[in-house]
């Protein structure tokens, strides 16, 4: 009887040991999964944009001496700033100093290159910044097209890749006129400066 009891006790001990090991493995996997989710949420939080600057607050933004474009603040309906000469005036525009936020810098970028909007998104479609409301789905759509090496499906849209601290991002420039290769290169460099400054 005692031998039978001992063998049952040993069997229960083995089962208990295996159960504890499996629980440890599952807890380890759970912690790994939670850590990955926190990293994802941390990246998503950096992409959450601040609310637009109201016109009263925008009046307090100091003017920067940059061909009359730098002191303009972002507004919900984005006026398109028409630059008369892009080649000479564009390099003097200060995109970051005096801007209230990343949207203000993107607004200045649009004025510098005569764009109607400029969207920055991650390669997996997460919106980083745009001047137009409701651009989350647009960013996901264009990121998908770019990843699949498809051409933009809307007129006046140009894709460009931006490197931000070793991570590739997509820039979507919207313009009412064709952009030259020099302008596209300049937009990419300026967008990288804006990302490095604000993020």
Rg (CA), the chain: 26
Do the Cβ atoms of 143 and 123 come closer than 8 Å? yes
**Buried/exposed code over 143-169 (b: 16+ C-beta within 10 A; e: otherwise):** bebbeeeeebeeeebbbbebebeeeeb
Instruction: Measure the N-to-C terminal CA separation of the chain; round to a whole number of Å.
Output: 72
Give the CATH fold of the 55-198 domain.
Beta-Lactamase (3.30.450)
> Higher-confidence residue: 48 or 43?
43
Do the Cβ atoms of 101 and 75 come closer than 8 Å? no
Give the pLDDT confidence score for residue 65 in this predicted structure: 44
List the domain boundaries for the chain: 1-48, 55-198
Give the CB-side neighbour count of residue 188, counting CA atoms within 13 A.
16
User: Residue 60 above 60 pLDDT?
Assistant: no
DSSP, collapsed to helix, strand or coil, labels residue 195 as helix
How far apart are alpha carbons 84 and 43 in whole angstroms?
Answer: 38
Give the pLDDT mean for 93-109: 85
* 131: confidence class by pLDDT, cuts 50, 70, 90: confident
């Amino acid at each position: 009887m005692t031998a039978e009891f001992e063998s049952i006790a040993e069997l229960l001990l083995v089962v208990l040991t295996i159960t504890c090991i499996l629980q440890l493995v599952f807890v380890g996997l759970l912690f790994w999964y939670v850590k990955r989710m926190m990293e994802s949420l941390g990246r998503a939080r950096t992409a959450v944009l601040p609310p637009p600057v109201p016109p009263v607050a925008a009046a307090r933004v100091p003017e920067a001496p940059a061909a009359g474009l730098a002191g303009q603040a972002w507004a919900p309906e984005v006026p398109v700033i028409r630059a008369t000469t892009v080649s000479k005036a564009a390099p003097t525009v200060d995109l970051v100093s005096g801007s209230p936020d990343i949207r203000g810098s993107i607004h200045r970028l649009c004025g510098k290159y005569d764009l109607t909007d400029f969207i920055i998104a991650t390669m997996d479609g997460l919106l980083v910044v745009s001047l137009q409301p409701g651009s989350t789905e647009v960013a996901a759509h264009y990121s998908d097209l770019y990843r699949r090496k498809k051409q933009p499906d809307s007129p006046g849209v140009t894709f460009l890749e931006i490197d931000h601290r070793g991570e590739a991002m997509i820039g979507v420039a919207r313009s009412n006129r064709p952009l030259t290769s020099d302008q596209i290169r300049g937009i990419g460099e300026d967008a990288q400066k804006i990302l490095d400054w604000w993020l």
